[in-house]
């Protein structure tokens, strides 16, 4: 605690409740309502440890010492994040989610790394100008109706057996 004058307090406080920009605090000697004076849009949660300043019914939260609430950046129009001479890094302990009616990713090189990937689409199309290569330890394809392959040449090689099972097999 730092004494600014005889009655002004500057120090930690615990959040007891929060609603509509007002925050109820547990201070060393009292419980008091404070206004958020944070420079960022943070919504405090019960149990957060904040930095409070004030006296006699005029209290303000001016910092977050230990928080678990949400910071929401809400803008009325477009939002651009740019680092023209550097990188942009997004990191989260529990996940990253991107939502939108139309999402576009443009890159000179796109590299994805994951232990598991799951893709779900109603429709999907890939256009590859040059070569498409797939390396897999094992591959299985299941198609509900028709599996159609068209190519000028088809080459398949097997080190061991090849099994074709069907009611009818048409060659030629």
Write down all domains in the chain, each with its CATH number in brackets: 2-71 (2.40.50.140)
Which pLDDT tens digit goes with each residue over 90-137?
A: 999 999 999 999 999 999 999 999 999 999 999 999 999 999 999 999
Q: 172, exposed or middle or buried, with CB in 10 Å at 0-12, 13-18, 19+? A: exposed
Q: Is the pTM of this model over 0.75?
A: no
Asked whether the beta carbons of 41 and 49 are under 8 A apart, the reply is no
Q: Which of 75, 74, 13, 90 is nearest to 44 (CA)?
A: 13
Q: What are phi and psi of 107, to 5 degrees?
A: -155, 150
Q: Examine the pLDDT at 7 and tell me if it is beyond 90.
A: no
Q: Examine the pLDDT at 157 and tell me if it is beyond 80.
A: yes
Adjacent-strand bridge partners of 32: 25
Taking the CB of residue 36, how many other CB atoms lie within 10 A of it?
18
Q: What is d(CA 10, CA 49) in angstroms, rounded to the nearest whole number?
A: 13
Q: What is d(CA 10, CA 52) in angstroms, rounded to the nearest whole number?
A: 6
Asked whether the beta carbons of 44 and 61 are under 8 A apart, the reply is yes
Average pLDDT, the chain: 93
């Amino acid at each position: 605690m730092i004494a600014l004058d005889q009655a002004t307090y500057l120090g930690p406080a615990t959040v007891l409740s929060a609603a509509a920009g007002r925050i109820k605090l547990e201070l060393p000697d009292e419980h008091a309502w404070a206004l958020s004076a944070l420079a960022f849009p943070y919504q405090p949660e019960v149990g957060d440890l904040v930095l409070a300043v004030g006296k006699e019914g005029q209290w303000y939260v001016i910092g977050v010492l230990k928080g678990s609430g949400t910071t929401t950046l809400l803008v009325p129009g477009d939002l651009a994040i740019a680092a023209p001479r550097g990188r942009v890094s997004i990191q989260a302990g529990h996940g990253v989610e991107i939502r939108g009616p139309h999402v576009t990713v443009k890159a000179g090189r796109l590299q994805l790394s994951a232990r598991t990937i799951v893709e779900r689409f109603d429709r999907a199309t890939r256009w590859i100008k040059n070569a498409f290569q797939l390396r897999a330890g094992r591959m299985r394809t299941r198609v509900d109706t028709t599996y159609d392959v068209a190519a000028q040449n088809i080459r398949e090689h097997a080190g061991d057996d090849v099994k074709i099972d069907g009611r009818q097999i048409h060659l030629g």
